[in-house]
A and B are shown apart, each in its own frame.
Chain A
Amino acid sequence: KAGVTQTPRYLIKTRGQQVTLSCSPISGHRSVSWYQQTPGQGLQFLFEYFSETQRNKGNFPGRFSGRQFSNSRSEMNVSTLELGDSALYLCASSFLTLAVNNEQFFGPGTRLTVL
């Protein structure tokens, strides 16, 4: 069974641009969560999507958004990029919503660098 895949693996953008990251969950998984990992703040929860609905949201500004498609694939978008958005963005999938079954499987991440 294929694991969680994230594309692209590496991305370089400049301040003010926007970026879209993609995540394909494990086949059959319906929950996708996103996390930001930085040296200063560590791992922080961004949001969870389940059955195309946002179920939970972390403490991030509105520039961070996401969506989930009917095939459970998810995208997250960051608009008006800032230098501080440079991070490893991790996607995790779970069979059910985190409220019911919170065993999550992580992808390799997308390394975003903002110049």
Chain B
Amino acid sequence: AQSVTQLGSHVSVSEGALVLLRCNYSSSVPPYLFWYVQYPNQGLQLLLKYTTGATLVKGINGFEAEFKKSETSFHLTKPSAHMSDAAEYFCAVSDRGRGGGTSYGKLTFGQGTILTVHP
């Protein structure tokens, strides 16, 4: 079974500082990887995803993540934090689909990391 571990349930940074949110996954084969953000009282918004190809993935709002197969990691970074980045961030994985009537692709989420940005 797949699992996702996000190191640090709370991360606090100063405005303008580097943001680093850690995510490690456990899967028998490299899965699809996602980062979502959730603002209070809202649903999830996709920041970026890795499916195949370039291992450095750029997303919205200046975020990027790098897939490292050898470390089974998919850490999320942003060079300079903004107050509007304060939210909860979720790393998620899903199986690679096989088609043929067999359904894969459900998301398995990490426990989330609450990012606080101080002025």
What is A's interface to B at a CB cutoff of 8 Å?
Answer: 4, 33, 35, 42-45, 48, 50, 55-56, 58, 90, 92, 97-100, 102-109
Contact = CB atoms under 8 A, between A and B. Distances in A.
Contacts of A103: 46, 49
A103 B105 CA distance: 9
Interface stretch (B55-63, B79-87, B107-115): B107-115
Interface residues of B, number: 26
B107 A45 contact: yes
A45 B105 CA distance: 11
B32 A102 contact: yes
B53 interface: no
B43 interface: yes
A56 B42 contact: no
A97 B105 contact: yes
Q: Is the interface of B mostly helix, strand, loop or mixed?
A: loop
Contacts of A100: 97, 99, 105
Given A106-B43, A107-B43, A98 B105 contact: yes
A56 B104 contact: yes
A58 to B, nearest CB: 7
A56 B106 contact: yes
Given A98-B94, A98-B97, A99-B102, A104 B112 contact: no
